[in-house]
C-alpha cells in the first residue's frame, strides 16, 4: 500500500505543481470583453457599459500609461477614472444615425474578476442605426474577442468582433 502511495505521489505531484504554476502565469484561457449599448428613449440617451477582465484592464493600463494600477485601492480611484476614460475613448467610438456620439464617463466598478466601465451620451432622442468601432484590449493581446450587445426600442442585437476586426453596425 505504501509503495502505491509513493508511486501516486511521484506521478501526480508534478502535475499539480505544473498546473498551479500555469494558473498563476495564465489567469484565463480566453480574452473576452463585452460592450453593451442601451438606448434610453425616456432620457434621450445612450447608456454604455464595458465589461473587461480586471487583470487584463490593469495590465493594459499599466503598459500604456507606465503607472501602477490597483482597482481595489480607493486612493487611486480618481487617477484610475482618468486612465479608464482616456483609454476607452481611444478604443471605443460610437455613431448614432451616422453622427459621432460623445461618450461621457460615469465611473467604474470591480466585481470579482470583472471590471465594469460606464459611459453615457445625452441628446440621442431617436436611433435607427448604431455603428461601433471597438478595439478594447487589442493592444493587450491578439486573442481578444469583443462582443457587443445593442438594444434600441426593446430590440436587442449582438455581434462578435475577433481581433483584428473593429467595426460593427446595427440597424433598427
Q: What is the pLDDT of residues 78-89, one digit of tens each?
A: 999 999 999 999
Whether this prediction's pTM lies above 0.85 is answered by no
Q: What percent of the chain has pLDDT over 70?
A: 84
> Mind giving me the DSSP string for 70-135?
-TT-GGGHHHHHHHHHHHHHHHEEEEETTEEE--EEEEEEEETTEEEEEEEEE-----SEEEEEE-
pLDDT at 27: 61
Q: What is the pLDDT of residues 87-124, one digit of tens each?
A: 999 999 999 999 999 999 999 999 999 999 999 999 99
> Rounded mean pLDDT of 50-76?
97
Amino acid at each position: 500500500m505504501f509503495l502505491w502511495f509513493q508511486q501516486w505521489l511521484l506521478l501526480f505531484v508534478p502535475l499539480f505543481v505544473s498546473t498551479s504554476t500555469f494558473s498563476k502565469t495564465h489567469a484565463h484561457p480566453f480574452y473576452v470583453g463585452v460592450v453593451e449599448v442601451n438606448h434610453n428613449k425616456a432620457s434621450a440617451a445612450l447608456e454604455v457599459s464595458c465589461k473587461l477582465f480586471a487583470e487584463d484592464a490593469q495590465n493594459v493600463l499599466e503598459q500604456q500609461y507606465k503607472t501602477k494600477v490597483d482597482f481595489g485601492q480607493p486612493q487611486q480611484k480618481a487617477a484610475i477614472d482618468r486612465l479608464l476614460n482616456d483609454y476607452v475613448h481611444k478604443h471605443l467610438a460610437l455613431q448614432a444615425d451616422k453622427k459621432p456620439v460623445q461618450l461621457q464617463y460615469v465611473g467604474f466598478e470591480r466585481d470579482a474578476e470583472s471590471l465594469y466601465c460606464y459611459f453615457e451620451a445625452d441628446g440621442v432622442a431617436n436611433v435607427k442605426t448604431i455603428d461601433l468601432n471597438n478595439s478594447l484590449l487589442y493592444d493587450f493581446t491578439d486573442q481578444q474577442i469583443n462582443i457587443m450587445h445593442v438594444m434600441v426600442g426593446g430590440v436587442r442585437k449582438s455581434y462578435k468582433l475577433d481581433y483584428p476586426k473593429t467595426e460593427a453596425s446595427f440597424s433598427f
